[in-house]
Structure 1
Amino acid sequence: MSATTSRRRMKALPLGLMATAALLLTACGGSGGAASAEVDLGGGPATAGTVKAGALDGMNMTFASWGGIYQDGQMAAAVTPFGEESGARVLSDGPMEYAKVQAQVESNNVTWDVVDTDSNWALGQCGKLLQKLDYTIIDKSSIPEGLASDCSVPAVQYANVVVYNKDKFSDGPKTWADFFDTKKFPGKRAVQGNDAGAGIFEGALIADGVAPEDLYPLDIDRALRKLDTIKGSLVYWMTGAQSQQMLEAQEVDMAVIWSGRAFGAVENGAPFEPAWDTGVVNMDVLSVPAGAKNPKASMALINYYLGKEQQEKLSVETSYSPAHVDAKPQVNENGRKFLVTEPEIAERTLVSDFAWWGENYAGVLEKFTAWVAK
């Protein structure tokens, strides 16, 4: 089966309509709070990328994400303009820590109004630490099919992909089998060591002979046995910034890395090339913590973030791929090499089974953490 036919998608939900009545919103404590106020988000169908001018005047909100260039891009492309148009005062906080989300929800003191998280974690927390989204306020009609769920919408699309030092290897590694071939391609390989998600596990199974269409449910024990064969060549990165620095300093010969961080390294002169036949597409998502003090305002921010113009600017700012089907970001040549929505890249990649990961993420993380520590 081709990579295209093995791309897995979840069924999308129908589009709702914008609430027509005025909504009573209470202010968030993230920026010190504000008095309760009635706000009118407007009538008619929701339209992504828009918010009624002044609808949230005087309201305090907090947007939490992963920091660095990514969060700076989110603020510039969507969050800050949303505040300017809606009248809300939106603070930026981070980096994201799931333990902080849990602590806020369990203490009934939620100070983050919208959070950017990994899709695997979010799907596992729907109806628990995260509340269901209101699709009468959020227009998801332009989200790629299968990427919206009850509790999350995509913030960006990206891939975990093998990149290699082209000064050392003029022709590869190109496949997952190559990544695991330390004789043909000797050298240090970097993988994330403090999290578990789509990418290296699918890659290990493909290198061990599993066909892409037969990957799920993943046999994690088999994947770890395959990883055992290259463990002596592995080094671990713990943050996106560290992974990028490893490439820029040429501390490793290849790495499984977020596509946006790989782009950043290449932009800074690192001689690395992506091997797109190894790409496993994933996404960050936007969600609203359970118990958020202004859930309707949170939905309005998410709706604004999903606009075509906002998504295009976000891609230019970060190199991550847009979550709007009509977005055509004007990125440079290097940036286009890392956009997973480019047709010539998309047809070669595998899309993560988000539903499987949502159900199994915690167990995989426990096993992987123990494996790394051995």
Structure 2
Amino acid sequence: MVSGSRTALAGAALVAAATLLAGCASADDGSTSGTGAPEKLTFVSYGGSGQEAQIKAFQEPYTAAHPNVTFANSSPADVAQVKAQVQAGVVQWDVMSVAPAAAKQNCGTLFEKLSVPKLDPKDLSPQAVGECYVGNWSNATIFGYNAAKYPEGPKSLKDFFDTAKFPGKRGVITNLQNGILEFPLLADGVAPDKLYPIDVDRALRKWDTIRKDTLFAANVGALQQAASADQVDMFLLPDSRMISLLNDKKNVKMVWDTTVITLNALAVPLGSKHKAAAEDFLQSLVQPEPAAKIAEALGVVPVNVNAKPNLSENARQLEVNGPVNTGKSVTQDIDWYSQNFDAVTTRLGNWLVG
């Protein structure tokens, strides 16, 4: 379709937190969302500024309205961890960030089928609600660069792959949600409306041309840190992390060629002991006010069409649906990814270690 993450917990802390939570899970078996028995929802996302924003925009207002419901935060979100928990019959997470395609592919096997009757599709962006997920915002992954490195900056995605014209280190995130397959094809001349089905081999061949000059970051936080430390000169980074660079007064400029828009979603792991409370929480966070707050904090696109965010100057620089975007945008095909997620993940993983 074409159109005009307060936490600093890392992997070791996740294990410790999970152990503690497992010990207290049996005490919280009741599921309420307003009044009644205390419930603690374990919320797992990707850490950093994005998760901090979700705490402020989603969790704190929800607890204020539902004092019996509190949150324990952890990171990173990982489908493999959910699979291990479900298979072991010890599910410790209640709400987690997930690619909509992964939620759709594993609906009913790793993720709960949701009952969210308070949500009206006409108030939300397309595909914002799936059988096993609720979108919390849309990300635009944008081509950014260090303007001090390139006073005469790049103008197109082709320049990202031209190390003769623009020498320097590139950076891209290796998860499928941030355009690692779409961007090389767009740079190679594929029209936005012809991207799907994705030619994975062609995309990887394009990456081969600049492989030695590219940092393949495992997650958004790693690439944000590399860009902040001037370890990469050009980077394909989501708006929710690009805004942190702008807020930190980094000399970053954007190239508005074609951006890749991805729905960011939340799901409930299968076997959560707090499913009803989790469902109520998910319905709350896509209402106009929290949807606007998360957009203001991260510079992302709200999923509620009635949200009216008061964007900062920096956020307006990243507004993919605003006048700053003089290029095009392509929205990731959730159906294609849900049907091909495992095979493509394996293919990409083998290439990365090859």
TM-score normalised per structure 1: 0.82
* Residue 285 (1) aligns with residue 285 (2): no
Checking the alignment, whether the CA contact within 8 Å between 2:94 and 2:272 is kept in structure 1 is yes
Structure (1 or 2) with the greater helix fraction: 2
Give the Cα–Cα distance (whole angstroms) in 2 for the partners of residues 56 and 80 of structure 1.
18
**The residue matched to 2:181 in structure 1 has which SS?**
helix
* Residue 214 (1) aligns with residue 210 (2): no
In the alignment, what sits opposite 2:81?
A: 100
* Residue 119 (1) aligns with residue 100 (2): yes
Q: Shift in Å at residue 205 of structure 1?
A: 1.4
Give the Cα–Cα distance (whole angstroms) in 1 for the partners of residues 350 and 31 of structure 2.
51
Q: Shift in Å at residue 138 of structure 1?
A: 4.1
Give the Cα–Cα distance (whole angstroms) in 2 for the partners of residues 37 and 127 of structure 1.
21
In the alignment, what sits opposite 2:61?
A: 81
Give the Cα–Cα distance (whole angstroms) in 1 for the partners of residues 129 and 25 of structure 2.
32
Give the Cα–Cα distance (whole angstroms) in 2 for the partners of residues 90 and 58 of structure 1.
8
Further displaced range: 220-229 or 89-98: 89-98
Q: Shift in Å at residue 137 of structure 1?
A: 4.4
Give the Cα–Cα distance (whole angstroms) in 2 for the partners of residues 35 and 168 of structure 1.
54
Checking the alignment, whether the CA contact within 8 Å between 1:321 and 1:339 is kept in structure 2 is yes
Post-superposition Cα deviations, 1:1-26, rounded to whole Å, max 9, x if no partner, equal xxxx7249xxxxxxxxxxxxxxxxxx
* Residue 298 (1) aligns with residue 294 (2): no
Further displaced range: 81-90 or 260-269: 81-90
Q: Shift in Å at residue 367 of structure 1?
A: 1.5
Q: Shift in Å at residue 80 of structure 1?
A: 2.2
Checking the alignment, whether the CA contact within 8 Å between 2:39 and 2:274 is kept in structure 1 is no
Q: Shift in Å at residue 321 of structure 1?
A: 2.4
Give the Cα–Cα distance (whole angstroms) in 2 for the partners of residues 57 and 204 of structure 1.
51
Give the Cα–Cα distance (whole angstroms) in 2 for the partners of residues 36 and 224 of structure 1.
47
Change (3 A) 1:343 1:143: farther
Q: Which runs of 5+ in 1 are unaligned?
A: 9-27, 42-53
Counterpart amino acid of residue 191 in structure 1: V
Checking the alignment, whether the CA contact within 8 Å between 2:31 and 2:277 is kept in structure 1 is no
Checking the alignment, whether the CA contact within 8 Å between 2:28 and 2:40 is kept in structure 1 is no
Find the partner of 1:248 among 228, 238, 248.
228
Checking the alignment, whether the CA contact within 8 Å between 2:31 and 2:274 is kept in structure 1 is no
In the alignment, what sits opposite 2:289?
A: 309
Aligned pairs for 1:259-278 within 5 A: 259-278=239-258
In the alignment, what sits opposite 1:6?
A: 2
Find the partner of 1:238 among 218, 241, 265.
218
Aligned pairs for 1:44-193 within 5 A: 54-95=34-75, 96-193=77-174
In the alignment, what sits opposite 1:23?
A: none
**The residue matched to 2:110 in structure 1 has which SS?**
coil
Change (3 A) 1:38 1:286: closer
Q: Shift in Å at residue 187 of structure 1?
A: 1.4
Give the Cα–Cα distance (whole angstroms) in 2 for the partners of residues 329 and 29 of structure 1.
38
Give the Cα–Cα distance (whole angstroms) in 2 for the partners of residues 87 and 304 of structure 1.
14
TM-score normalised per structure 2: 0.87
Counterpart amino acid of residue 151 in structure 2: S
Give the Cα–Cα distance (whole angstroms) in 1 for the partners of residues 177 and 144 of structure 2.
18
Counterpart amino acid of residue 310 in structure 2: Q
Q: Shift in Å at residue 119 of structure 1?
A: 2.4
Task: Note the aligned Cα RMSD (angstroms).
Answer: 2.5
Counterpart amino acid of residue 114 in structure 1: V
Q: Paired residues, what number?
A: 337
**The residue matched to 1:217 in structure 2 has which SS?**
coil
Give the Cα–Cα distance (whole angstroms) in 2 for the partners of residues 160 and 131 of structure 1.
28
Post-superposition Cα deviations, 1:240-268, rounded to whole Å, max 9, x if no partner, equal 23212222222221011122211111211
Give the Cα–Cα distance (whole angstroms) in 2 for the partners of residues 88 and 255 of structure 1.
43
Give the Cα–Cα distance (whole angstroms) in 1 for the partners of residues 31 and 240 of structure 2.
40
Post-superposition Cα deviations, 1:119-171, rounded to whole Å, max 9, x if no partner, equal 23222222220122113244444211233211112112112221112223234
Checking the alignment, whether the CA contact within 8 Å between 2:156 and 2:257 is kept in structure 1 is yes
Q: Shift in Å at residue 101 of structure 1?
A: 1.2
Identity of aligned residues (%): 31
Q: Shift in Å at residue 30 of structure 1?
A: 8.2
**Whose Rg is larger?**
1
Q: Shift in Å at residue 308 of structure 1?
A: 0.8
Give the Cα–Cα distance (whole angstroms) in 2 for the partners of residues 366 and 36 of structure 1.
37
Find the partner of 1:369 among 346, 349, 352.
349
In the alignment, what sits opposite 2:237?
A: 257
In the alignment, what sits opposite 1:333?
A: 313
**The residue matched to 1:324 in structure 2 has which SS?**
coil
